[in-house]
Structure 1
Amino acid sequence: MPISIDCPFCQPQDDPHQHVVIENETCYFLQHDGHQDILEGTGIIVPKAHRPTAFDLTPQEWADTYELLHQAKAYLDAKFAPDGYTLGWNVGLVSNQTVPHAHFHVVPRYSDEPYAGKGLRYWFKQEANRRQGR
């Protein structure tokens, strides 16, 4: 299984603030202490093998991501009781993929948060984000 020595998702146990919450044969569901103070429960699903983007996942990694997503939801529902979820992949720097290892964001959402009701579509529908000349 290929890994990258410099990648924080290839060896999550090396970061004492990053926790493997659930895992299966090919993927982890990770939570990082530094990401829990804004929207509690936030985590990511990552393949154990170093895959640069979601487009590089194997069929087994896709199946295992699906399995972990449902397990993560059951865990998050029981522990945090969110009112909804925002789910997503970022691919490439222009999409804000700052770690070049595929990672699927699982973001619990709460009705009392300031951006409640503003999911992925809200951000790309803003007129201020229109490409110049388009």
Structure 2
Amino acid sequence: MTYKEDCPYCNFADDPEQHIILENDTCYFLQHDRHQGVLEGSGIIIPKTHRVNTFELTKEEWNDTYELMQQAQEYLKQEYSPDGFTLGWNVGEASNQSILHSHFHIIPRYNDEPYAGKGLRHWIKKPENKRPQHQS
């Protein structure tokens, strides 16, 4: 198993606010205490082996991520009763990947939150996010 000494997700056990909620052979579903106050129940699935981004996951890690995603959905429904979910990976600095260890966000969404109804497509459609014209 590949491990990186300075990676917070390789060393999540060093953070007393980070908790394993679910686990299988290759992945963990984690929740962090500080995220509970914003959108309660938010968590991430990470591979146990250090993978910089999603494109490096093995087929087994993909399958285990799927398995944990299904289990996490059931857990979150029981514990938090969300009205929906936003799911996603960020890959690379341009997409806001700030920790270079692949992590899949599972974000419960609620009808009474300020950004209800604004998922991933909302940000794609923002005219102010259009790239400047490039000259050839």
Structure 2: gaps (5+ residues) = none
Per-residue displacement from partner, 1:23-82 (whole Å, max 9, x unpaired)? 000000000111111100000000000000000000000000000000000100000000
Tell me, in whole angstroms, the C-alpha distance in 1 between the residues paired with 2:6 and 2:37: 26
Tell me, in whole angstroms, the C-alpha distance in 1 between the residues paired with 2:3 and 2:36: 26
Structure 1: gaps (5+ residues) = none
Tell me, in whole angstroms, the C-alpha distance in 1 between the residues paired with 2:8 and 2:124: 28
1:14 aligns with 2:14: yes
Runs of 4+ aligned structure 1 residues displaced above 2 Å come to none
Q: What corresponds to 1:113 in structure 2?
A: 113
Q: What corresponds to 1:82 in structure 2?
A: 82
Q: What corresponds to 2:69 in structure 1?
A: 69
How many residues matched?
134
Q: Which amino acid aligns with 2:114?
A: P
Per-residue displacement from partner, 1:75-103 (whole Å, max 9, x unpaired)? 00000000000000000011000000000
Report percent identity of matched pairs. Answer: 60
1:124 aligns with 2:102: no
Q: What corresponds to 1:39 in structure 2?
A: 39
Tell me, in whole angstroms, the C-alpha distance in 2 between the residues paired with 1:29 and 1:74: 13
| Alpha-carbon offset, residue 129 of structure 1 | 0.2
Q: Is the Cα contact below 8 Å between 1:12 and 1:20 reproduced in 2?
A: no
CA RMSD of aligned residues (A): 0.8
